[in-house]
Chain A
Amino acid sequence: MTNDFNFQVNLRGVIDLLSDHLYSGPQVYLRELMQNSVDAITARQNREAGHDGLIKMEVVASGDERPPTIVVHDNGIGLTEDEVHQFLATIGQSSKRDGPASDDFIGRFGIGLLSAFVVCDEIVVITRSINADGKTVQWKGRADGTYSLDILDYDFEPGTQVFLRAKRGSWQYFDAEFVRRKARHFGGYLPHRIEVHAEGEIDCVNETPPWVDYSGSPSEREQLMQHGRDVFDVEMLDAIPLRSQAGKVQGIAYVLNHSISLAAKRSDRVYLKNMLLTEQADNLLPSWAFFVKCILNVNDLRPTASRESFYDDENLESARVELGGCLRQYLMDLAEHDQQRLYRIIDLHYRSIKSLAVEDDDFYRMFIDLLPFETSLGSMTLKEYRENNPVIRHVSSLDQFRQISGVAAAQSICIINSGYSYDKELIAKFSDVFPDWTVEEVDATELTQDFAELTLEERESVFDLLKLGEMVLQPFRCGIDIRKFQPAQLPTLFVTNDAGDFMRSVEQAQDEASELWAGVLDEMSSERSITAETQLVLNYNNSLVQKLATTPDRNLIGRALQMLYVQALLLGHRPLNAREMKLLSDGLLGLIEYSIGNNDESGEE
Chain B
Amino acid sequence: MSQEVLDLLEQAGRMSEGPAQISLCEEAVRVADAKGDDEHKLVARLELVKAAAFGGAPDRAMVTFSWCLAKYDADPEEYHLYSYDLMWQFKWIMDHICDFPNVPKDKIRQLEDDMERHYRIEDYGMRAVHQIRWVNALGMGDLNRFQEFWDKWYDTQRDDMADCLACEQNKRVEAAIAQLDYEQAVEYANPIFTGRMSCAEIPQKTYATVMPALIKLGRLREASEYHEKGYRLIRKNPVYLADIAGHLLYLTHVDSFVKGLNMVERHLPWAIDSSNKYWQFELFSTASLLVEVMSQETAKPKKLKLPQELSCYREDATYELPEVAKCLSEKTSEIKAIFNERNGNDHFTKLRASYRDLVITS
- Tell me if chain B binds chain A: yes
Interface residues of A, Cβ cutoff 8 Å to B: 261-265, 397-399, 419-422, 424, 432, 502, 505-506, 508-509, 512-514, 516-521, 523-528, 573, 575
Is the CB–CB distance between B63 and A398 below 8 Å?
A: no
Is the CB–CB distance between B15 and A525 below 8 Å?
A: no
Partner of B74, one of A502, A505, A512, A573: A512
Cα(A517)–Cα(B107), bound, Å: 9
Is the CB–CB distance between A523 and B103 below 8 Å?
A: yes
Is the CB–CB distance between A509 and B67 below 8 Å?
A: yes
For residues 201 through 254 of chain B, which have their beta carbon under 8 Å from a beta carbon of chain A?
Answer: none
Residue of A nearest to B228 (CB): A314
For residues 97 through 146 of chain B, which have their beta carbon under 8 Å from a beta carbon of chain A?
Answer: 97, 100, 102-104, 107, 110-111, 114
Cα(A516)–Cα(B70), bound, Å: 11
Given contacts A263-B14, A509-B66, A512-B74, 20 further A-B pairs with CB under 8 A are A261-B14, A398-B26, A398-B27, A502-B60, A505-B63, A506-B63, A512-B66, A513-B66, A513-B70, A516-B114, A517-B70, A518-B66, A520-B62, A520-B103, A521-B63, A524-B102, A524-B275, A525-B63, A527-B102, A528-B59
Residue of B nearest to A526 (CB): B102
Number of A-B contacts (CB under 8 A): 95
Residue of B nearest to A432 (CB): B305
Determine the chain B residues whose CB is within 8 A of the CB of A261 once the complex forms.
Answer: 11, 14
Chain A proximity of B32: nearest CB distance (Å): 10
Determine the chain B residues whose CB is within 8 A of the CB of A421 once the complex forms.
Answer: 15, 20, 23
Is the CB–CB distance between B66 and A575 below 8 Å?
A: no
Chain B proximity of A114: nearest CB distance (Å): 25
Q: Which 4 A-B pairs have CB atoms at the shortest separation, nearest pair first?
A: A263-B14, A421-B20, A512-B70, A509-B67
Is the CB–CB distance between A523 and B74 below 8 Å?
A: no
26 residue pairs of the A-B complex, CB under 8 angstroms, read A262-B11, A263-B11, A263-B14, A263-B15, A265-B14, A398-B23, A421-B20, A421-B23, A432-B305, A502-B60, A505-B60, A505-B63, A506-B63, A514-B70, A516-B111, A516-B114, A517-B111, A518-B66, A520-B66, A520-B97, A523-B100, A523-B103, A524-B102, A573-B30, A575-B33, A575-B34
Using A263-B14, A513-B70 as known contacts, say yes or no to A397 and B64 having CB atoms under 8 A apart.
no
Chain A proximity of B2: nearest CB distance (Å): 13
- Majority DSSP secondary structure for residues of A touching B: helix
Determine the chain A residues whose CB is within 8 A of the CB of B305 once the complex forms.
Answer: 432
| Chain A CB within 8 A of B358 CB | no
Is the CB–CB distance between A508 and B67 below 8 Å?
A: yes
Is the CB–CB distance between B63 and A509 below 8 Å?
A: yes
Determine the chain B residues whose CB is within 8 A of the CB of A573 once the complex forms.
Answer: 30, 33-34
| Chain A CB within 8 A of B71 CB | yes
Is the CB–CB distance between B107 and A512 below 8 Å?
A: no
Is the CB–CB distance between A509 and B70 below 8 Å?
A: yes
| Chain A CB within 8 A of B73 CB | yes
Chain A proximity of B351: nearest CB distance (Å): 21
| Chain A CB within 8 A of B263 CB | no
Determine the chain B residues whose CB is within 8 A of the CB of A422 once the complex forms.
Answer: 20
- 0 or 1 for each of B174-214: is its CB under 8 Å from A? (1 = yes): 00000000000000000000000000000000000000000
| Chain A CB within 8 A of B162 CB | no
| Chain A CB within 8 A of B69 CB | yes
Using A262-B15, A265-B14 as known contacts, say yes or no to A512 and B67 having CB atoms under 8 A apart.
yes
- Majority DSSP secondary structure for residues of B touching A: helix
Residue of A nearest to B18 (CB): A421
Is the CB–CB distance between A514 and B73 below 8 Å?
A: yes
- 0 or 1 for each of B19-52: is its CB under 8 Å from A? (1 = yes): 1100100110010011000000000000000000
Determine the chain B residues whose CB is within 8 A of the CB of A575 once the complex forms.
Answer: 33-34
Determine the chain A residues whose CB is within 8 A of the CB of B63 once the complex forms.
Answer: 502, 505-506, 509, 521, 524-525
Using A261-B11, A399-B26, A512-B67 as known contacts, say yes or no to A523 and B102 having CB atoms under 8 A apart.
yes
- 0 or 1 for each of B79-110: is its CB under 8 Å from A? (1 = yes): 00000000000000000010010111001001
Using A399-B26, A421-B20, A523-B100 as known contacts, say yes or no to A516 and B15 having CB atoms under 8 A apart.
no
Residue of B nearest to A575 (CB): B33
Determine the chain A residues whose CB is within 8 A of the CB of B11 once the complex forms.
Answer: 261-263
Residue of A nearest to B48 (CB): A505
Cα(A64)–Cα(B111), bound, Å: 74
Is the CB–CB distance between A521 and B111 below 8 Å?
A: no
Is the CB–CB distance between B110 and A516 below 8 Å?
A: yes
Chain A proximity of B33: nearest CB distance (Å): 4
Using A505-B64, A573-B34 as known contacts, say yes or no to A517 and B102 having CB atoms under 8 A apart.
no
Determine the chain B residues whose CB is within 8 A of the CB of A517 once the complex forms.
Answer: 66, 69-70, 111, 114
Determine the chain A residues whose CB is within 8 A of the CB of B103 once the complex forms.
Answer: 520, 523-524
Partner of B111, one of A265, A518, A520, A527: A520
Partner of B67, one of A263, A432, A513, A528: A513
Is the CB–CB distance between A520 and B15 below 8 Å?
A: no
Determine the chain A residues whose CB is within 8 A of the CB of B62 once the complex forms.
Answer: 520-521, 524
Cα(A516)–Cα(B108), bound, Å: 10
Determine the chain B residues whose CB is within 8 A of the CB of A432 once the complex forms.
Answer: 305
Determine the chain B residues whose CB is within 8 A of the CB of A509 once the complex forms.
Answer: 63-64, 66-67, 70
Determine the chain B residues whose CB is within 8 A of the CB of A263 once the complex forms.
Answer: 10-11, 13-15
Determine the chain A residues whose CB is within 8 A of the CB of B71 once the complex forms.
Answer: 512
Cα(A526)–Cα(B110), bound, Å: 19
Cα(A567)–Cα(B159), bound, Å: 50
Is the CB–CB distance between B69 and A513 below 8 Å?
A: yes
Determine the chain A residues whose CB is within 8 A of the CB of B13 once the complex forms.
Answer: 263
Residue of B nearest to A262 (CB): B15
Q: Residue among B33, B62, B64, B71 with the most chain A CB within 10 A?
A: B62
Cα(A265)–Cα(B13), bound, Å: 12
Cα(A527)–Cα(B33), bound, Å: 27
Partner of A419, one of B23, B67, B97, B104: B23
Cα(A371)–Cα(B184), bound, Å: 52
Cα(A265)–Cα(B15), bound, Å: 10
Chain A proximity of B199: nearest CB distance (Å): 16
Cα(A502)–Cα(B23), bound, Å: 13
Q: Residue among A502, A512, A520 with the most chain B CB within 10 A?
A: A520
Cα(A399)–Cα(B22), bound, Å: 13
Residue of B nearest to A423 (CB): B20
Residue of A nearest to B26 (CB): A399
Cα(A519)–Cα(B103), bound, Å: 9
Chain B proximity of A56: nearest CB distance (Å): 42
Chain A proximity of B44: nearest CB distance (Å): 12
Cα(A508)–Cα(B48), bound, Å: 15
Partner of A523, one of B23, B34, B107, B114: B107
Cα(A505)–Cα(B52), bound, Å: 14
Chain B proximity of A389: nearest CB distance (Å): 21
Residue of A nearest to B265 (CB): A432
Cα(A523)–Cα(B110), bound, Å: 14
Determine the chain B residues whose CB is within 8 A of the CB of A523 once the complex forms.
Answer: 100, 102-104, 107
Determine the chain A residues whose CB is within 8 A of the CB of B60 once the complex forms.
Answer: 502, 505
Determine the chain A residues whose CB is within 8 A of the CB of B111 once the complex forms.
Answer: 516-517, 520
Partner of A521, one of B27, B66, B73: B66
Chain A proximity of B251: nearest CB distance (Å): 21
Determine the chain A residues whose CB is within 8 A of the CB of B26 once the complex forms.
Answer: 398-399
Residue of A nearest to B15 (CB): A263
Cα(A502)–Cα(B62), bound, Å: 12
Determine the chain A residues whose CB is within 8 A of the CB of B23 once the complex forms.
Answer: 397-398, 419, 421
Residue of A nearest to B34 (CB): A573
Cα(A398)–Cα(B63), bound, Å: 20
Cα(A439)–Cα(B99), bound, Å: 33
Determine the chain B residues whose CB is within 8 A of the CB of A502 once the complex forms.
Answer: 59-60, 63
Q: Residue among B15, B67, B100, B114 with the most chain A CB within 10 A?
A: B67
Cα(A528)–Cα(B114), bound, Å: 25
Chain B proximity of A573: nearest CB distance (Å): 5
Determine the chain B residues whose CB is within 8 A of the CB of A508 once the complex forms.
Answer: 67
Cα(A265)–Cα(B60), bound, Å: 28
Residue of A nearest to B11 (CB): A263
Cα(A525)–Cα(B60), bound, Å: 10
Cα(A264)–Cα(B11), bound, Å: 9
Determine the chain B residues whose CB is within 8 A of the CB of A514 once the complex forms.
Answer: 70, 73, 114
Chain B proximity of A2: nearest CB distance (Å): 28
